Structure 1
Amino acid sequence: MTDTAPTRPFELYDATLRDGMQGEGMSLSADEKLRVATKLDELGVHLIEAGFPASNPKEQELFGLLAGETWTNAQIAAFGMTRRRDVRAEDDPALRILADCFCAVTTIVGKTWGLHLEKVVRVDREENLRLIADSVAFLRGEGKRVIYDAEHFFDAWRDDEAYALRCLRAAVEAGADTLTLCDTNGSSLPLQVHDAVARVVAELGAHARVAIHAHDDAGCGVANSLLAVQAGATQVQGTTNGIGERTGNANLTTITADLELKMGIRSLPDGGLARLTETSLFVDELLNRTPRASQPYVGRNAFAHKGGLHIAGIRNDARTFEHVDPEAVGNSREVLVSELAGKGTVVEKAAAAGVEVDDAQAARIIERVKELEHRGYHFEAADASFELLMRRETGAYEPLFTLESWRVIVEQRAGGQVETEATIKIWIGDERFVRTAEGNGPVHALDGALRAAIAQVHPHLADIELADFRVRILDSTKGTDAVTRVIIDATDGRETWGSIGVSGNVIAASWEALVDSLARSEQPGRRGVAAGGAAAGA
């Protein structure tokens, strides 16, 4: 395998705003797209593909917003396609829009694969070459940097190498600055990509930049992109977190870290890589997606350690079980608590929570964790409940209240409306509190009643928000008699913590998790730290 070192400055090309939006459920307003573009510019990507300027009113609004911004690191690329057949390039309305757009960079896609020429656009091979050349030449003549995306390139390469090269050569001779080799169907394997890119670089690399645009249908999007770089590509296209149609695009988040930390190719400005996790989470948040915990580099579990031997190893030298420093990509190390944990894990978790634990207490806590996880608890996702467990075992726990009783009434009326009412009776010191609240679900009602009862004594709890509520049936074979696990995520606006409840009754499990989510904030050393909203919906 002969590799060609990059001879041009390396470029990252983010297509989240266009290609990424083709994924199921992906939708952003023009204002939200502007926020993503701003975040990508702060990260340091070189090119941001915004879409076709006039494909719909939202895109028109977006390009108006983008034109009014000042960009520090990125250039905005407008996207389109080669001219229609039987229409001159200068008369093609779509190409004219690209020419008149404020963007100095235009990306146009054209056909390369004979199958598409026969079945989709229905033009012969010579006419297709003219479509490519005319479109590139027109935009180049309008002063644009032209990136030519050779659609289905690798399928075309396997079908007819000579014609695939002729398509690229037509674009180069007409003035294309960059040739993007697209694995549009995501069908290619890494060595196939490497060998094809190496040939293109050898044939045309002296005249144009070679880029890779991979999809992940065969699970090789990242690998294909990296092998293309090894073969001489100097631009990688992809999307943040790999979002996109079908199984997604090549994950540019992973690729960016791999390039710098594994291949020694700097693709971001100084300090940029440390913003990778922040940027990944920002995009998921705007898209209302749950971040993938197992995502390389930026996922919550990317540097999470559970086994006792692993934890002991990273305590001595993090290199024993971590391939890179979490802080290099803006992430952090996480020590998970489970039945596999050792005393060192407990001691470390206790220290972080401000709880003093001796060896005997640590051993007792481990045994208690094993017992509870056998019953269905899952402390990896419930750090608040684990902290309270440690406090109970060491005598450092201060209860919010003493429960007398709680009751939930769910009523469906004839018109289909469902109403929920909760009543709680608790003691705080020598004072008895009885409160009732309505909600749009039992947990919402219980939360409202509990907050009303304790607001005078623990006013800060009124501002803690319940951010997520998850229910899992632990033994579905038992049907409605199965044990239920409930996990609640709560936030004070600065950090998020999880709590857990397990019971054969889903409301009882929810109550347990709810109380732990609030009790954590009122423990010694944590009082008064809160900012947020109100619970809802569960």
Structure 2
Amino acid sequence: MPVALRDVTIREGAQMPGREYDVEKRVTAGRALDRLGLDAVQAGFPVVGETDREAIRQLAGDDDVSADIVALARAIAGDVDAALDAEADVIEVIVPTSDQQLEHVLGKSGDEALAMAGEALDRAREGGTEVHLTLVDGFRTDTADLVDTFAAFPSVPTITVADTVGARTPDRVRDIVTDLCDRGVDGDRLGVHFHDDLGVAVANTLAAVDAGATAADVSVASLGERAGNAALERVVVSDAVDGSGDCAAAVDRSELVPACEAVLDALDESVDPRTPVLGADVTTHESGIHTAAMLRDPGTFEPFDPATFGGERRLVFGPGSGRGSARALLEQAGVDPTDERVATLLDLLAERGPMDADAATALVVERF
């Protein structure tokens, strides 16, 4: 069953220190995300200010945008009113549920928090907007309390359990989601939201989906406060390569890398060259052993074909190339790889390189 991927890049990214995404940046990024076929795009927190409201308003009013545009709101009347003013397609109400968050953030009991959530959801509905609910620090909340919360709001189509502080690991996540489903929570209503403080947000997302969750929050290049959120591109590619395919089925794979790069450009963000999926070095190969084998079969040293996701493979030939690479280049061009020719080609690559595979092949044709 396809998993609904809900992007939080714009809202979470804007909460990182020193970030100020204006309306144009948010709208451009939102349109790029929509190219992927995502279920929803969370474009802001309207009570924060007019920038958030106007970006949501423009995206929600754009007939060419298919994804639901989501506005975040605490379980406070003013937050809901600001979200309604932004004319979002969906208002996602958030409320703390763990003992620590209830005591130190909300200063309320669990029952009081649920009452606040109910009032906020009703207010949003009365304003004519679809509603979702997110349980802040839900993965550190007693499972029985989570089950009661799902039962208390049977008409809310998606309730997201959040690992707000990034404290959980895959085995624990799988156990919690399995327990929820075993206790009667409908997986079709169960969403998850993970932070990457322990470096396992992607693994947690895949574990939750495998255990029965059918909606997941993701973020391009893991953009988000602190260590960020589950990276959209890593969730999709990991699931496509070695998972159920339910997450990967939710997006246009051929647009994945170009759309993510467009989002990063729109928000003036960048990634380290060694960042999985999106980093330039990840699909660049220069080792002689690697390039020699990959000229014959790229899958020898790749977990996936970058082109499947709109990316590009780059084989580099130069001073570091070995005899195997030179021999493979000659064979690929239909030239007998004698020892003399191999030695000559290695000298030429050392002199003129580094160069990509096309240039190296052209060099062989030119010289031999």
TM-score class, shorter-chain normalisation, is 0.7 to 0.9
Give the residue type in structure 1 aligned to 2:147. L
Q: Is the 8 A contact 1:169 1:204 kept in 2?
A: no
SS in 2 for 1:295: coil
1:29 aligns with 2:14: no
SS in 2 for 1:302: helix
Distance in 2, matches of 1:61 and 1:350, equals 59
TM-score by length of 2: 0.85
TM-score by length of 1: 0.60
Q: Report the Cα offset of residue 33 of structure 1.
A: 0.8
Alignment of 1:114-153 (within 5 A): 114-153=99-138
User: Gaps (5+ residues) in structure 1?
Assistant: 1-5, 84-91, 370-378, 397-538
1:493 corresponds in structure 2 to none
1:333 corresponds in structure 2 to 313
Deviation readout 1:143-175 (Å, 9 max, x if unpaired): 43322111111122xxx33334333433x23x2
Q: Is the 8 A contact 2:139 2:163 kept in 1?
A: yes
Distance 1:204 1:104, change over 3 A: farther
User: Aligned residues, how many?
Assistant: 357
Distance in 2, matches of 1:346 and 1:56, equals 60
Q: Report the Cα offset of residue 28 of structure 1.
A: 2.1
Q: Is the 8 A contact 1:76 1:105 kept in 2?
A: yes
Q: Report the Cα offset of residue 351 of structure 1.
A: 12
Give the residue type in structure 2 aligned to 1:129. L
Q: Is the 8 A contact 1:342 1:366 kept in 2?
A: no
Q: Report the Cα offset of residue 131 of structure 1.
A: 1.4
The structure whose RCO (Cα within 8 Å, separation 6+) is larger is 2
Higher strand share: 1
2:337 corresponds in structure 1 to none
Q: Is the 8 A contact 2:296 2:328 kept in 1?
A: no
Q: Is the 8 A contact 2:75 2:95 kept in 1?
A: yes
Alignment of 1:50-449 (within 5 A): 50-83=43-76, 92-156=77-141, 160-170=142-152, 172-173=153-154, 175-206=155-186, 209-267=189-247, 272-337=252-317, 340-343=320-323, 345=325, 358-365=341-348, 383=355
Q: Is the 8 A contact 2:143 2:180 kept in 1?
A: no
SS in 1 for 2:62: coil
Distance 1:270 1:195, change over 3 A: closer
Give the aligned CA root-mean-square deviation in angstroms. 3.2
Distance in 1, matches of 2:351 and 2:78, equals 71
User: Gaps (5+ residues) in structure 2?
Assistant: 333-339
Distance in 2, matches of 1:26 and 1:236, equals 24
Q: Is the 8 A contact 2:3 2:250 kept in 1?
A: no
Distance 1:24 1:348, change over 3 A: farther
Q: Is the 8 A contact 2:276 2:282 kept in 1?
A: yes
Q: Is the 8 A contact 1:132 1:167 kept in 2?
A: no
Q: Report the Cα offset of residue 269 of structure 1.
A: 7.2
SS in 2 for 1:301: helix
Give the residue type in structure 2 aligned to 1:260. A
Distance 1:253 1:225, change over 3 A: same
Q: Report the Cα offset of residue 49 of structure 1.
A: 0.3
Distance in 1, matches of 2:187 and 2:50, equals 38
Q: Report the Cα offset of residue 368 of structure 1.
A: 5.7
The structure that has the greater radius of gyration is: 1
Q: Report the Cα offset of residue 271 of structure 1.
A: 8.2
Q: Report the Cα offset of residue 35 of structure 1.
A: 0.6
Q: Is the 8 A contact 1:181 1:211 kept in 2?
A: yes
Where in structure 1 do 4 or more consecutive aligned residues deviate above 6 Å?
A: 268-271, 347-352
Distance in 1, matches of 2:94 and 2:205, equals 19
Alignment of 1:497-508 (within 5 A): none
Distance 1:152 1:54, change over 3 A: closer
